Structures are given as structure tokens and as C-alpha cells.
Amino acid sequence: MTLISAVAALVPRDVDTGTPAHLAPRWLRVVEEHIVEVGDGPPPSTPDVVVDDGVLAPGFLDVHCHGGGGASFSEGAEVAATARAAHRVAGTTTMLASLVTEPLDVLAEQLETLRPLVASGELAGVHLEGPWLSPRHRGAHDPEHLVPPEPAALERLLGTGLVRMVTLAPELDGGLDAIRRVVAAGATAAIGHTDASYECSGRALDAGATAGTHLFNAMAGLHHREPGPAAALLERPEAFIELIADGVHVHPAMLRLAFAQHPERFVLVSDAMAAAAAADGAYRLGGLDVQVRDGVARLIDAEGRAGAIAGSTLTIAGAVRHAVREASVPPAQALAAATENPARMVGLDEVGRLAPGMRADLVHLDEDLAVRAVMHRGAWL
């Protein structure tokens, strides 16, 4: 049993009173892998651990990540474990493995290689980002393998029981039916890599989509006569919205504008590829070549020229720090967007909050929001 006292901890949003997430003095008691008791103010007895500076937060969640530490989630369980470990020491204690567009047989094989990590709890599931995406907004996805969603393909991949989230373009033939099928399988359907109109995006939300993949990126931008998917997502209260806060994907002003709407719906994601927590250099994302220079990942064409952004080299801790320092997002809002909001987005009810019954995953951040210590399942790393 461990009693922890923090001068500032993230207090989760209270849905009954409407009180938003905020920072306040708090103590918590950990027994084995879980938080069993939480209270406000001074602890009831002498604490075993005192966090007397910075912030104590739940372990971060990343629901959109392709790899890290030089490894990709598409390269098999052993390599995927390397990526998982690289993000864990950076404070991300729960994550989905995101897979990019590949042929159906390849995706099915990749899913099976990740099954041991999902079964053991190392991964909370898999996010399929493709192959059901718009060729016009494909980003770093191989156009040769982009296809409309066919029922047989959906059944094959969703039937593995490993998929927790699917990003798709609802304007594709069968797109709305695909959203209904994803939701029926118990996964989160997200609008992304899409050329959908505002009206089509609204129909997708009506069909059961409850998330938007990396808002503003790989979709039509906001326009006063053609508002597009971004406006549809921003105005719908049931929609969670991903944002990549790395200073490359989204300008700080747009981060501020988005968070000012409904902060309880925003989710910070890394969209990281293998170069996260690793060195610059040449990498692969799916079947495509990527060059990372100064921490920015871009596709490389046959002539060696840099093109579209190919994911990021971000960690969630870095996203929180950027949102607060560069976009002036209040710290509690940024931390909630890295913890309880993503947990609600993909239906994880044992992580994301400092509350009784939650898994004892914790991050101690210093005054500059840099990670100082990480607890995973009740043990400090």
C-alpha cells in the first residue's frame, strides 16, 4: 500500500455538477495495481510519497500512434513492444496501436501479430487508419491500397476482436453503412482522411461516428461557404476530436480556437511514427519511405524530394507541453485532453482519472510539464 500526496493533482471533470477538470491539492492510496482511495487536501496520515512541486496526473493515453523508439506497430509483436516501451517511459501508460493502409491480407496479418500485446494488456487495442480513406486526402497512405469499405473486409478485420477504433471517409461508397458496422462491433468510428462535405459529415455523425481524426489535417479546411467536416465536428456535442499539438500539424492559434469550443471533447494524440523518441533519419511508414529532419517526418518521392507530412515524432507529454506553452491552453484542459477525454472517446473505463477503482497509472510532471516520474500498474518505472 502506498499513500501519495500531491500539492497539485488533476481532479477529473464532475459530470453531475458540471465542474470541469482542474488542478488542486490531492492525495491517493494505491494498493497493488489500483487506486483504492482519493481525497482532497492534506493526506489522512504521513504519506509514503510527496509530490511537492509540479503536477500529478493520470498516466497519459494515446489513441493514435504508429510507433516510436525506432520501431513500428506494423512490424510484429517484438518490435511493437519496443515502440510501446518508448512511449511508456515518456508518460504514455495506455495506448492503441495504429495501423496504416495496407492490402487486406497484410492488415489481417498485422492484427494477429499484435494479438499477444492486446491480450496481455500492453496495448488497449488497435486503431485502423485505413484502408477506407479518401484518395484526395490520403496524407501518408499508399494510394494503391485505398479502397471503399466492403462488408466482407469489415467483417474480417472487426471480427478479430482487436479493433477499438476505425478512421474512415464517410463519403466513400458504403461509408455510412461501414460506420454503423464499426459501432455495432463496439469500436469507435472516426471521420478522417476525408473529402466529405459538411452535410455528409453530419450524416456520418448521425450514423454513429463519435470522433474526428486529427482535426484540420487530411480534410478540407474551414471555409465560410463550405464549412466541411471540421465545422460539423466542432459543433456536435457528441464528437470527440483529435488534435496533433506539435507545432507542425496545427498552428497554435487553431489549437486555441478549437479548445475554446468544448474542451471536454478534445483529445491530444501523437500520430507518432517510428522516429518518435528516436533519431532523425530514413524510416518506413507502411510501404512508404519517410525522411525525418529536425524532428519533422515527411514522405520522400522517387526523386528524393520531401512531400506530405508523414505522422509526427511527438509524445503525448510533448503535446501537453506544446498546447500549454505555445497555444496557451489551460494546463488542466491540456492534461484532461491527454487522459480522461481519450479514455471516454474509446470506451476505456479503468484509466484516465485519479479516482477509486482506476488503474494506478500516474505521471509526475515538473513545473515545465516535463515528465519526472511514471507509475504503471502501481510500480514506478
Contact between 244 and 214 (Cβ < 8 Å): yes
Active site residue 14: no
Per-residue 3-state assignment (H helix, E strand, C coil) for 194-233:
ECCCHHHHHHHHHCCCCEECCCCCCECCCCCCCCHHHHHH
Residue showing cell 476525408: 194
C-alpha cell at 154: 469489415
Determine which one of 271, 280, 294, 349 is catalytic.
Answer: 271
The span from the CA of 220 to the CA of 218, in Å, is 7
> Do the beta carbons of residue 42 and residue 27 sit within 8 Å?
yes
- The three-state DSSP-derived secondary structure of 24-50 is EEEEEEEECCEEEEEEECCCCCCCCEE
> Is residue 242 within 8 Å of 213, Cβ to Cβ?
yes
263 prior amide bond cis, ω within 30: no
Helices (H), the chain: 77-88, 104-119, 151-158, 175-184, 198-206, 228-235, 252-259, 316-325, 331-336, 340-345
Write out the catalytic residue numbers. Answer: 271
